[in-house]
A and B are shown apart, each in its own frame.
Chain A
Amino acid sequence: DVVMTQSPLFLPVTLGQPASISCTSSQSLVYSTGNTYLMWFQQKPGQSPRRLIYEVAIRDSGVPDRFSGSGSGTHFTLKISRVEAEDVAVYYCMQGTHWPRTFGQGTKLEI
């Protein structure tokens, strides 16, 4: 199985400052088509997860542009350019290239 490793697991941040979460996969996430199926999800307390980014860097509709994704192969990053109070949540990366699908452990962002 592909192991997804996130760091850090806890991320204390200051409002208005940038934040960055790393996600590393144990195998390349490049599919035979050339696409890379790496997604980022945000889960706020008591809510269902919400997808923020898919295929490494494509932001979902309605997601603020302060969120950005980057990376390739086995190393990926979610960045928040300026953290706002509403960004307090747990963030998960997930790979959709290989079966079984696997998630990272989650990164709890705290103000």
Chain B
Amino acid sequence: DVQLVQSGGGLVKPGGSLRLSCVASGFTFSSYLVNWVRQAPGKGLEWVSSISATSGYIYYADSVKGRFTISRDNAKNSLYLQMNSLRAEDTGVYYCSSGTRLDHWGQGTLVTVSS
């Protein structure tokens, strides 16, 4: 079975940093583009970032460009999101998702940016 297990997240002050991780199993991780999607409390889904299979192509939403960095380690079947200069509006649940068509999703991890 495909699994995406997330970790990281938590409470951080505005301007702080946090790193999210997502470990994949059950499929050939190194062959797939992977994504981060977030959801503010009580709101809809917002695409955040995607990285191609070999990290050759990286995309960001304008709302996080220059502050967030997506990366992956195919040897560890892992996806990361380094979040710097965090703002209150970055608060929400962050999901990792596999594939161009967002085939499978992680369990989500809550990020709270508050003083």
Q: Which residues of A contact B (CB under 8 A)?
A: 37, 39, 41, 43, 48-51, 54-55, 90, 92, 94, 96, 99-106
Given contacts A37-B100, A103-B44, A103-B45, contact A50 B105 (CB under 8 A): yes
Contact B101 A54 (CB under 8 A): yes
Min CB distance, A89 to chain B, in Å? 13
Contact A99 B59 (CB under 8 A): yes
Q: Which residue of B lies closest to A103 (CB)?
A: B45
With a cutoff of 8 Å between Cβ atoms, the chain B residues found around residue A43 in the complex are: 45
From B61, B62, B101, B103, residue with most partner A Cβ within 10 Å: B101
The 4 closest A-B pairs by CB, nearest first: A101-B47, A48-B105, A106-B44, A54-B101
Contact A100 B101 (CB under 8 A): no
Q: Which residue of the partner chain, among A37, A50, A102, contacts B47 with CB atoms under 8 Å?
A: A102
Min CB distance, B17 to chain A, in Å? 23
Min CB distance, A20 to chain B, in Å? 19
Complexed CA–CA distance, A99 and B51 (Å): 12
